[in-house]
């Protein structure tokens, strides 16, 4: 049953835009079929049984995908499907041929399904799920006429407000589930004491009520509903009579057994109810828009229902349930009538629509009957529930003041109700002739009127023979609401002369008087709409939020240095905090005193660094001290027993500086001065602080004894790594995997550079490089290449045992080629060397990768090395280790990547003129 | 030793190497290689999830060296999950890219494969320095991909992105080596053991290293105040790349989850105390950013930040339940973010000059299709039922109820949820409803909407099968928090017998 | 003045200088800063293996060396990796800066040519 509407929705959505009739038929069929299934369950529901069906879903307590059909659910499901079917029929005639009908019915069915889900859900989570779905579907329905601004706004407002409620409800439901120990309704409904004793009760209650009130458009969240009137009238008839807004009061009814009965419930619910009831009823009188009037009356009737639930008495709950039913019927018929009128007259302005009695007597009769029901005229259903309401208002019995206030409020509300009903009837159907209507109204097609007729029939039937018409189902639903024995009550028109009757009469008289007074003395028609605060406040909040967010985002957004600063400060701040929080500090071990020479070198380095900073704006110049600083670093490496590092550092240094020089040909040679010292001062402070922090950490660790596990490498390097240069063995064997990643990075960088500069031809160099090269340089360069190649091979081979290895060898070779480039120019060199860099990179990576895979074939994991030691003349013992092929891959990748990067920049345009050769 | 563990890294590596060779010359062939490699990656990932589901931690000793001395790969439920997610997003992004993005510059497919290699390595390695290396691999590849197609906006964004990440890399190196200097090891499991035995005097320094790493991972994951780079960068990236990047922020989240539960212990240490407040602050800031977003891609970027904040907050709760919920949320948020970026491109193409700017523009030629997709994606991203965003949020909130911090979490999560909802409904009505002029764009090629639909379907599947999926996520979380198993498996692993050196 | 302190100060100085340049609003200055910073970081990693003069970790015959006799080889290996990676990255960054300058006409890091950078 639940699945049907959703499937139908998809089916309809699949229909072509033009297929109006088909869509309508399908939708109607779906609604009726679902209703049939529902009625099939009727017997056992009336027998007091509760239909259940569940699939396992969420691994949360009781959060299965479960359905539950009890009296309340049955009543609501019946309303949803029954009125749904009528609306479908009605819409078939209402919709304009221009409107895409399939979309309409698809949304409508989706909404129907969601609503069914809400009433049938057997646990709170599922209820929230479908609850949110109704919000979404209504968003689409209200925004159906997407080209109308008010439709878009109305839709967004409805979604925002009900969305707020939905989120609140989610929170509240979670708390409730926590308090009750499960989300399953059976459990929750039975856990009244436990829940109301729990500290979570109050927050849960408030959040859930927030959900219910937003949905049922209770004050102060009522404002979205009138704006939702921008929707096509069938939608209004559906959403605002039987479904959407009823979801809120349904929630109140559903959770009545567990939440109600407390002081908090009484205050929150009844106060909200009574306020809404009065305010909305009052405002309704002053609407000129037909649908506006109905919208406000809907709000006030919902307020009435809420109030009844809030009264905490069983009878009130019964009355509430009864009124839910009644309101659904007469309000749906009224909306449809309004729709017909709108349809026939082309306007909904009651100042222009008058005296329709002459033009469409039959529709008028229906409208009048329904309006009378709304006003609570005897022999109509509205009367009965109103009587019950009055009766209940008399025995609140909580507090003397309330005892007197409530009946008064009730009567007053009744009076307003009569007034706006009067206005509806009198203004529309009588009160002279219509003024300049777009078209002359006449009776609508037979089938368009049918739904209204049926609904009005129900109103009358219930009104005259209530016990017969609704007795059983009401008892059923009310029983489910109370979750206990029903109180004594009798459904009859005549209870004898008693207070409620008196109140009714008073209300009617007052209402009529009030209306005509307004009409005559106040000149109702000339007055503008009452200013509705809600929308403005809402808009203001949204606008404020947006502009605030805007400012925030723009202020914090973007700039690189700002982001860098935040990053550094975060590191610095957290670091200091963590250190202070967890204590400990440099356990001062005996440092080794520094010799004057060492200090001198250090000072040289310091000077170089300082010079780099000072000269940084004159870029070419700054490269010299930078290089010097690098040199000192590599000296440090040599001195502290790291020859490989020193060598690598030097070569990388060399290549980097060359790269920078090449790049500088395409960048300004100088940085413009920065205005203002403040920023530089700030940056300086941050820099110094960070530097101090790093220095402190370094010192603190250096003076501690080393816990390193590196003895293993020293021990195993020769016997199992097959090399005596432990660093190199680590690189190609113990941690060869790091190296694999490292060369990958190098290759990737080269590819990125290549991709970025491919086909990039900048204008003339920013700075013209000087002079031509001497003959000597050429010859040197020419000689250098073969020598360097030899050196590279040598370094490569011995690398496993003495400083050297694939990476260093690769750099040496690259540097040699680089020198040749400088000496001969790019084209000359590349013409002769014809190196395909991608190939070097790709093959290098492949070599490394396949070396690793090789070991899989002998059953060893990736990158396991195997080796032997043949002795070569001049080089000495050479490890023919699988590690060596790996190292070969390293070599190739390094050469390819380095040269690719260099030539990509170099090729941009010769920094030095090419020789014509 | 199970050689499947190395496959997710080696497969893309070799594919990348081959592509490096052929892409320039045989672009058609390159496409096939890339596609097959990605499919293979996905298959392997699925295989590994099956392997990890058993609950045992599989260990792979690279170079067959005794842990902790060699580099070790370890596969637990979390790693497997991340791999599968990577594969799924990558496939969608690649198919989208085959629509033409891959031809707008050189080496796209090679870089794409290297990116996968980096991601896989980061998710599998059990060695802190090796994690750094793979971070560099995936970053280097991401630089290349981000620059793909150039253009001033993209270049500026790339420069920022690269500089920030290089700074972070410096911090990473300092943190790693600091831990090495104190504990004398790089193996994560070994670190967990050694740090526990650290003399009191060294605790402070170890925690400093911890927070430095937190900053590094936080920058990747875009956590306040390190989140500012993300929306701009992702908006500037080519659509398929942005989609792939949806998994990149999750690398940061993964690293946080891994390092700060395994090495430092869940809820212990300085970093752990920062997570919850930082996460909530991020979420709040991100939802405001979403509200202010001027284009759909920027909006999607902010949503990525928001999901990072939610995840971090959940991690901050440090309970297994919260962690499980977070992992579930991670799956969906990644899929949806990827879908949104791809969708933004399709919508932008349809609206011609207006692009994906959140302003009235020409109507779409295919409003029904794109509208439906957007509606689903938005509902999912906004955490509305029936999509997984809702379930994930639900599970996170529910798990928070036990902790004292629940009012904060409820407040921030629900309010920011509302803000995001408003932002998305605004975006939707501007893009699809408020149209000026008639449809300009052409049809939407299948290669453009199919991946989106597939991602959304995958996201929806996580709701349909919420039971098993959430179950797996919780099991993964349990495995993560109860770190004994991981440590024992890693340190207990023995190399296979090898013949002694000749 | 111990050797350790000397090196620590050196590292601190390099880092400070690097960070200061990193925060300059011009792309090239940023690159300079990153190079200095990477020197500092490399030395820092290296220092985590403690200092030892004149005892490179080379197992030249005889009894295998131990940490008591030679320097810790592991940080050296890590530094090698770090150097290579930062080399590649520097090159890439330079090229981005170069191309960016020609696309946006300025080498200001945010592509704005009002001299002052962001975040002030």
> What pLDDT, in 10s, does the model give residues B12-24?
999 999 999 998 8
List C-alpha distances in Å: A654 to A173, A648, A778.
67, 10, 19
Which of A3, A545, A755 to probe the B interface (max B CBs under 10 A)?
A755
Q: Is the pLDDT of residue A914 over 50?
A: no
DSSP result, A544-565: HHHHHHHHHHHHHS--HHHHHH
- Over residues A235-255, mean pLDDT: 87
Give bridge partners of residue B361 from the DSSP assignment: B435
Question: In the prediction, which pLDDT does C120 show?
Answer: 35
Q: Hey, what are A825's tokens?
A: 């120019």
Question: In the prediction, which pLDDT does A479 show?
Answer: 85
Contact C76 A644 (CB under 8 A): yes
pLDDT range class, residue C13, cuts 50, 70, 90: very high
How many angstroms separate the CA of residue B222 from the nearest CA in chain A?
11
Question: In the prediction, which pLDDT does B500 show?
Answer: 47
pLDDT range class, residue B268, cuts 50, 70, 90: confident
Q: Hey, what are B103's tokens?
A: 């031809």
Residue with tokens 């290349």: B144
Q: Is the pLDDT of residue A774 over 60?
A: no
Question: In the prediction, which pLDDT does A532 show?
Answer: 56
pLDDT range class, residue B200, cuts 50, 70, 90: confident
| Contact indicator for B258, B57 with CB cutoff of 8 Å | no
- Over residues A708-717, mean pLDDT: 90
Most confident of A10-14, A554-558, A657-661, A902-906: A657-661
Contact A754 B467 (CB under 8 A): no
The more confident residue out of A689 and A724 is: A689
- Give the count of beta carbons closer than 10 Å to the beta carbon of residue B39: 14
Q: Is the pLDDT of residue A823 over 80?
A: no
d(CA A860, CA A842): 25
How many angstroms separate the CA of residue B102 from the nearest CA in chain A?
12
Q: Is the pLDDT of residue B329 over 60?
A: yes
DSSP result, A87-115: HHHHHHHHS-TTS-HHHHHHHHHHHHHHH
- Give the count of beta carbons closer than 10 Å to the beta carbon of residue A351: 14
Which of B127, B160, B163 to probe the C interface (max C CBs under 10 A)?
B163
Question: In the prediction, which pLDDT does A374 show?
Answer: 87
pLDDT range class, residue C74, cuts 50, 70, 90: very high
Which of B156, B190, B226 to probe the C interface (max C CBs under 10 A)?
B156
Confirm or reject contact between A177 and chain B (CB < 8 A).
yes
pLDDT for A459-503, tens place per residue? 888 888 887 778 888 888 888 888 777 787 777 777 776 777 888
ipTM of this predicted complex? 0.94
pLDDT for A175-232, tens place per residue? 999 888 889 988 888 888 888 888 889 999 999 999 999 988 888 888 888 888 888 8
Percent of chain A with pLDDT over 70: 90
Q: Is the pLDDT of residue A568 over 50?
A: yes
Question: In the prediction, which pLDDT does A255 show?
Answer: 92
Q: Is the pLDDT of residue A778 over 80?
A: no
d(CA A227, CA A229): 5
The more confident residue out of A586 and A663 is: A663
| Contact indicator for C18, C35 with CB cutoff of 8 Å | yes
Chain B residues lying within 8 Å of A749, measured CB to CB: 140, 143-144
- Over residues A378-399, mean pLDDT: 80
Question: In the prediction, which pLDDT does A838 show?
Answer: 86
Q: Is the pLDDT of residue B464 over 70?
A: yes
Contact C27 B169 (CB under 8 A): no
Contacting subunits of C (3+ beta carbon pairs below 8 A): A, B
The set of residues, in sequence order, having a beta carbon less than 8 Å from that of A216 and lying 6+ positions away, is A245, A246, A247, A248, A249, A302, A305, A306
Q: How many CB pairs under 8 A join A and B?
A: 362
Q: Is the pLDDT of residue A766 over 60?
A: no
How much is the mean pLDDT over chain A? Answer: 83
How many angstroms separate the CA of residue B480 from the nearest CA in chain A?
20
CA dihedral angle for residue A844, residue A846, residue A851, residue A853, rounded to 10 degrees: 160
How many angstroms separate the CA of residue B181 from the nearest CA in chain C?
5
How many angstroms separate the CA of residue B377 from the nearest CA in chain A?
13
Q: Which of B177, B329, B306 is nearest to B257 (CA)?
A: B329
Q: Is the pLDDT of residue C116 over 50?
A: no
Contact B166 C86 (CB under 8 A): yes
pLDDT for B293-310, tens place per residue? 888 999 999 999 999 999
List C-alpha distances in Å: A901 to A651, B151, B153, B274, C91.
15, 20, 23, 42, 7
Question: In the prediction, which pLDDT does A434 show?
Answer: 77
- Over residues B450-469, mean pLDDT: 90
- Over residues A332-337, mean pLDDT: 89
Q: Hey, what are B153's tokens?
A: 């906006």
Angle at B498 between CA C57 and CA B129, to 5 degrees: 45
Contact A602 C10 (CB under 8 A): yes
pLDDT range class, residue B191, cuts 50, 70, 90: very high
How much is the mean pLDDT over chain B? Answer: 90
Question: In the prediction, which pLDDT does A771 show?
Answer: 43
Phi, psi of A914 (to 5 degrees): -75, 145
Question: In the prediction, which pLDDT does A391 show?
Answer: 84
Q: Which of A499-513, A558-572, A582-596, C34-48 bottoms out in mean pLDDT, i.e. has the lowest?
A: A582-596
């Amino acid at each position: 049953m639940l699945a049907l509407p959703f499937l139908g929705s998809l089916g309809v959505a699949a229909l072509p835009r033009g297929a109006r009739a088909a869509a309508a038929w399908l939708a109607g069929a779906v609604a009726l079929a679902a209703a049939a299934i529902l009625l099939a369950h009727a017997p056992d529901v009336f027998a007091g049984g509760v239909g259940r069906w569940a699939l396992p879903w969420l691994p949360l307590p009781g959060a299965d995908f479960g359905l539950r059909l009890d009296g309340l659910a049955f009543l609501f499901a019946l309303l949803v499907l029954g009125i749904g079917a009528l609306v479908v029929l009605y819409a078939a005639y209402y919709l304009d041929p221009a409107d895409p009908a399939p979309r309409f019915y698809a949304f409508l069915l989706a909404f129907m399904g969601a609503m069914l889900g809400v009433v049938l859900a057997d646990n709170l989570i599922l209820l929230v799920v479908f609850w949110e779905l109704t919000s979404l579907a209504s968003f689409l329905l209200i925004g159906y006429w997407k080209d109308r601004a008010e439709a878009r706004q109305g839709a967004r407002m409805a979604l925002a407000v009900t969305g707020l409620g939905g989120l609140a409800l989610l929170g509240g439901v979670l708390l409730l589930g926590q308090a009750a120990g499960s989300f399953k309704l059976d459990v929750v409904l039975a856990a009244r004491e436990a829940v109301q004793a729990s500290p979570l009760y109050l927050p849960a209650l408030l959040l859930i009520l927030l959900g219910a009130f937003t949905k049922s458009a209770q004050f102060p969240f009522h404002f979205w509903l009138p704006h939702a009137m921008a929707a096509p009238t069938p939608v209004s008839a559906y959403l605002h009579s039987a479904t959407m807004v009823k979801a809120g009061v349904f929630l109140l009814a559903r959770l009545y057994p567990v939440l109600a009965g407390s002081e908090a419930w009484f205050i929150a619910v009844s106060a909200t109810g009574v306020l809404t009831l009065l305010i909305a009823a009052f405002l309704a009188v002053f609407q000129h828009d037909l649908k506006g009037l109905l919208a406000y009356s809907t709000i006030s009737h919902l307020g009435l229902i809420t109030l009844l639930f809030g009264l905490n008495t069983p009878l009130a709950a019964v009355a509430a349930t009864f009124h839910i039913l009644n309101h659904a019927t007469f309000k749906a018929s009224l909306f449809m009538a309004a729709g017909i009128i709108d349809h026939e007259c082309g306007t909904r302005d009651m100042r222009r629509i008058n005296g329709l009695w002459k033009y469409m007597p039959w529709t008028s009769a229906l409208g009048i009957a329904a309006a009378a029901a709304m006003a609570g005229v005897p022999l109509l259903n509205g009367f009965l529930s109103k009587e019950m309401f009055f009766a209940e208002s008399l025995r609140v019995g909580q507090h003397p003041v309330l005892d007197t206030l409530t009946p008064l409020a009730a009567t007053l509300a009744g009076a307003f109700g009569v007034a706006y009903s009067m206005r509806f009837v009198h203004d529309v159907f009588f009160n002279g002739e219509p003024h300049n209507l777009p078209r002359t109204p006449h009776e609508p097609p037979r089938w368009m009127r049918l739904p209204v007729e049926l609904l009005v029939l129900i109103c009358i039937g219930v009104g005259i023979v209530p016990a017969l018409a609704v007795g059983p189902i009401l008892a059923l639903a009310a029983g489910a609401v109370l979750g206990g024995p029903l109180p004594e009550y009798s459904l009859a028109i005549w209870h004898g002369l008693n207070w409620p009757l008196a109140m009714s009469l008073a209300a009617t008289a007052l209402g009529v008087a009030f209306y005509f007074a307004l009409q005559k003395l106040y000149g109702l028609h000339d007055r503008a709409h009452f200013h509705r605060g809600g929308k403005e406040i809402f808009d203001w909040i949204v606008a404020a939020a947006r502009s605030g967010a805007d400012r925030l985002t723009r202020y914090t957004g973007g700039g690189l240095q700002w982001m860098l600063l935040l990053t550094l400060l975060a590191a610095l701040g957290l670091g200091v905090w963590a250190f202070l929080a967890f204590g400990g500090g440099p356990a001062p071990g005996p440092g080794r005193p520094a010799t004057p020479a060492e200090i001198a070198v250090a000072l040289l380095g310091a000077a170089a660094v300082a010079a780099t900073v000072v000269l940084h704006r004159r870029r070419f110049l700054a490269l010299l001290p930078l290089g010097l600083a690098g040199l000192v670093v590599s000296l440090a490496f040599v001195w502290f027993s790291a020859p490989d590092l020193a060598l690598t550092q030097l070569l990388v240094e060399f290549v980097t500086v060359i790269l920078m020089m090449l790049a500088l040909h395409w960048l300004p040679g100088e940085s413009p001065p920065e205005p203002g010292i403040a920023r530089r001062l700030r940056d300086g402070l941050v820099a110094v602080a960070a530097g101090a922090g790093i220095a402190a950490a370094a010192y603190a660790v250096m003076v501690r004894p080393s816990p390193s596990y590196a003895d293993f490498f020293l021990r195993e390097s020769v016997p199992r790594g097959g090399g005596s240069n432990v660093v190199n063995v680590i690189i190609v064997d113990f941690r060869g995997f790091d190296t694999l990643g490292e060369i990958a990075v190098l290759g990737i960088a080269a590819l990125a550079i290549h991709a970025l500069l491919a086909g990039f031809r900048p204008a003339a160099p920013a700075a013209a490089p000087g002079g031509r090269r001497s003959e000597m340089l050429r010859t040197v360069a020419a000689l250098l290449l073969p020598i360097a190649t030899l050196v590279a091979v040598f370094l490569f081979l011995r690398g496993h045992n003495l400083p050297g290895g694939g990476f260093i060898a690769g750099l040496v070779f690259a540097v040699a080629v680089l020198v040749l480039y400088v000496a001969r120019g790019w084209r000359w060199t590349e013409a002769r060397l014809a190196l395909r860099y991608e190939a070097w990179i790709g093959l290098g990576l492949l070599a490394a990768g396949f070396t690793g895979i090789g070991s899989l074939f002998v059953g060893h994991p990736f990158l396991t090395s195997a080796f032997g030691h043949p002795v070569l003349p001049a080089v000495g013992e050479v490890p023919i280790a699988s590690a060596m092929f790996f190292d070969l891959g390293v070599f190739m990748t390094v050469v390819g990547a380095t040269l690719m990067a260099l030539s990509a920049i170099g090729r941009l345009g010769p920094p030095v003129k090419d020789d014509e050769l | 030793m199970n050689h499947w563990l190395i496959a997710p890294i080696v497969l893309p590596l070799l594919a990348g190497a081959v592509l490096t060779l052929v892409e320039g010359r045989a672009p058609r062939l390159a496409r096939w290689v890339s596609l097959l490699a990605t499919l293979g990656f996905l298959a392997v990932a699925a295989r590994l999830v099956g392997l990890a589901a058993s609950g045992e931690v599989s260990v792979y000793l690279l170079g067959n060296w005794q842990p902790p001395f060699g580099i070790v790969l370890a596969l637990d439920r979390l790693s497997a999950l991340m791999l599968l997610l990577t594969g799924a997003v990558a496939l969608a992004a690649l198919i989208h890219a085959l629509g033409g993005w891959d031809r707008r510059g050189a080496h796209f497919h090679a870089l794409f494969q290297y990116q996968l290699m980096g991601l896989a390595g980061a998710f599998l390695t059990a060695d802190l320095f090796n994690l750094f290396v793979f971070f560099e691999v995936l970053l280097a590849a991401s630089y290349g991909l981000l620059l793909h197609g150039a253009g001033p906006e993209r270049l500026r964004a790339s420069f920022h992105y690269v500089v920030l990440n290089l700074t972070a890399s410096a911090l990473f190196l300092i943190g790693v080596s600091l831990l090495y200097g104190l504990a004398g090891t790089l193996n994560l499991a070994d670190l967990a053991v050694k740090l526990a035995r650290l003399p009191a005097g060294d605790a402070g320094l170890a925690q400093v290293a911890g927070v430095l790493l937190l900053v590094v991972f936080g920058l990747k994951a875009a956590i306040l105040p390190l989140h500012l780079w993300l929306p701009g960068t992702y908006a500037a990236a080519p659509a398929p790349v942005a989609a792939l990047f949806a998994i990149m922020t999750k690398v940061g989240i993964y690293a946080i989850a891994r390092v700060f539960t395994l090495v430092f212990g869940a809820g212990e240490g300085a970093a752990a105390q920062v997570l919850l407040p930082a996460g909530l602050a991020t979420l709040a800031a991100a939802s405001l950013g979403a509200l202010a977003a001027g284009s759909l891609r920027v909006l999607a970027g902010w949503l990525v930040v928001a999901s990072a904040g939610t995840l971090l907050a959940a991690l901050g709760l440090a309970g297994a339940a919260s962690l499980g919920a977070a992992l579930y949320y991670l799956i969906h948020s990644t899929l949806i973010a990827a879908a949104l970026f791809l969708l933004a491109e399709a919508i932008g193409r349809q609206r011609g000059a207006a692009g994906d700017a959140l302003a009235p523009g020409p109507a779409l030629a295919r409003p029904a299709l794109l509208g439906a997709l957007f509606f689903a994606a938005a509902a999912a991203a906004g955490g509305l039922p029936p999509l997984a965003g809702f379930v994930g949020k639900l599970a996170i909130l529910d798990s928070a109820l036990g902790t004292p911090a629940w009012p904060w979490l409820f407040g921030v999560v629900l309010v920011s949820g509302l803000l995001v909802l408003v932002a998305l409904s605004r975006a939707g009505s501007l893009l699809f409803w408020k149209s000026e002029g008639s449809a300009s764009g052409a049809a939407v090629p299948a290669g453009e909407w199919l991946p989106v639909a597939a991602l959304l379907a995958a996201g929806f599947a996580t709701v349909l099968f919420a039971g098993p999926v959430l179950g797996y996520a919780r099991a993964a979380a349990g495995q993560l928090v109860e770190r004994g198993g991981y440590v024992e498996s890693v340190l207990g692993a023995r190399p296979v017998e090898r013949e002694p050196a000749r | 003045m111990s050797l350790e302190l000397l090196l620590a100060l050196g590292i601190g100085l390099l880092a400070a200088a690097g960070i200061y340049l990193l925060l300059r609003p011009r792309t090239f200055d940023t690159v300079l800063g990153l190079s200095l910073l990477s020197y500092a970081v490399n030395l820092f990693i290296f220092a985590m293996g403690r200092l030892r003069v004149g005892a490179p970790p080379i197992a030249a015959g005889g009894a295998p060396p131990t940490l008591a006799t030679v320097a810790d080889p592991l940080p050296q290996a890590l530094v090698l990796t770090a150097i290579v990676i930062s080399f590649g990255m520097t090159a890439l960054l330079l090229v981005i800066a170069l191309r960016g300058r020609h696309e946006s006409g300025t080498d200001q890091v945010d592509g704005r040519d009002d001299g002052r950078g962001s975040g002030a």
